A and B are shown apart, each in its own frame.
Chain A
Amino acid sequence: MIDPVIQLLISLGFSLLFVVSGIHKLSNRLRFQGIVDAYQIVPSSWVPFVVIKIGILELTLGAAWLISNSVLIPLFSAVLFNIYIIAISINLFRGRTYIDCGCGFSGFAGAQENNDGIQQLSLSLVGRNFFLVGLLLMAVLPISSREIGVVDYLSIMLGLLSALFIYAAANQLLSNHNAIGAWRNVSG
């Protein structure tokens, strides 16, 4: 059983995440096509379709998180994240850690950093996605019934705001880590 406030916080958070990144992907289709192509997982001729599909899927999921309480939504989202995890892991395994992950758009990171806002693949990125999957699965738990008051809405609003900043900060730290790692390869 989880409290409705926590459930709402998770739903709104993921809704925001999916909508923002869906819009970002669809509006920067060309750039995102290059990113998907660099993963070398789907054949190049499929890439434009895959990009549109991912964008629309993310937008749909974002809307669905807002509207419905269905258990299917967290599960679908978890499947999507697992696909990302697998795609990243395959390329980590291939040693292609230098490609852009295409997931650094947290709304902020994408808007502020110009063209060189590249977030390279790393194990910590896989860790981040596993953490998100964990949160997703929390939303599958049954919700306890409770009256939601004004204070609860305040908690949700401010909680969402701080979660947003913390998520953006974590993403920034990940890309800083890559940038610092590029300075000098001691083991090499």
Chain B
Amino acid sequence: MVETLVISNIVLWVILVVLSLLVFALTRQIGILHERVAPAGALQPTTGPKVGELTKQMSLTALNGGIHNIGGAEANGLATFILFISPTCPVCKSLVPTAKSLIKSEQGRMQLLFGSDGEDLEQHKNYVKDLKIENYPYFVSQALGMSYQVSKLPFAVLIGADGTLQSKGLVNTREHLESLIESMDSGIATVQEYVKSQLDSTDKAYEASAAEQTS
């Protein structure tokens, strides 16, 4: 009996050591993964209105009947986040809950709108019900998509409270959505631009120290 217990104890200890080693290795991997994954921003197209330009005001009727003004200076002082989606786009479906939670976390400084395009209104109504976004304005309007030159979905446009275009781009993940808001807050249009400015500043520092050494 005692022998059995001793053996089982040893076996358990070995398993525990291996397991804790595994847990440690996993946490290490998460740490390394975090270091390796460079930030990725939304892909910004070169066509369409430019970031910083004042957007054109558009008056549109939402799917649920409400009339909304998009673009131009918003009366309620909120920024406008338009996510362009479509029932035929599989990625859009997974991105909608993410967009909802992200805008909620922005504590009421921006409103979320959905834009789409297509003939079959019934299909859009089912889509809205499916995604549980009845409380958000949903526009089926070709003009809206055209004015921001939306060519690929899911696409997002962020208009500041003053009516200027803050950022836009092709979005596939939460990180992309966040990059749009980040770009509005920081005033830097794209990640590429940010990296370039960082490189320039280190170059300058390097040149300065080189000049110091030669003098």
Which residue numbers of A lie inside 8 Å of B, CB to CB?
108, 112, 116, 151, 154-155, 158-159, 161-162, 165-166, 168-169, 172-173, 175-176, 179-180, 184, 186
Contacts and interface: CB of A to CB of B under 8 A. Distances in A.
Interface of chain B, main secondary structure? helix
Given A154-B10, A158-B17, A169-B20, 8 more contacts: A154-B13, A162-B13, A162-B19, A165-B23, A169-B26, A175-B31, A179-B31, A184-B178
A136 to B, nearest CB: 21
Contacts, number: 55
A176 B23 CA distance: 14
B1 interface: no
8 contacts: A151-B9, A155-B9, A155-B13, A159-B13, A161-B20, A162-B17, A166-B23, A186-B105
Given A151-B6, A162-B20, A180-B34, A169 B27 contact: yes
Interface string B33-44: 011000000000
B91 to A, nearest CB: 21
Contacts of A161: 17, 20
A172 B24 CA distance: 8
Given A112-B28, A184-B182, A176 B34 contact: yes
Given A155-B9, A162-B17, A169 B24 contact: yes
Given A151-B9, A154-B13, A186-B105, A176 B20 contact: no
Range, interface on chain B? 20 to 34
A94 B31 CA distance: 27
Most buried by B among A116, A168, A175: A168
Interface in B11-65: 13-14, 16-17, 19-21, 23-24, 26-28, 30-31, 34-35
A94 to B, nearest CB: 25
A165 B34 contact: no
Interface of B: 6, 9-10, 13-14, 16-17, 19-21, 23-24, 26-28, 30-31, 34-35, 105, 178, 182
A54 B60 CA distance: 69
Contacts of A155: 9, 13
B17 A165 contact: yes
B124 to A, nearest CB: 31
A186 B16 CA distance: 38
A176 B17 contact: no
Nearest to A165: B20
Contacts of A151: 6, 9-10
A166 to B, nearest CB: 5
A162 B182 contact: no
A13 to B, nearest CB: 13
Nearest to B19: A162
B2 to A, nearest CB: 9
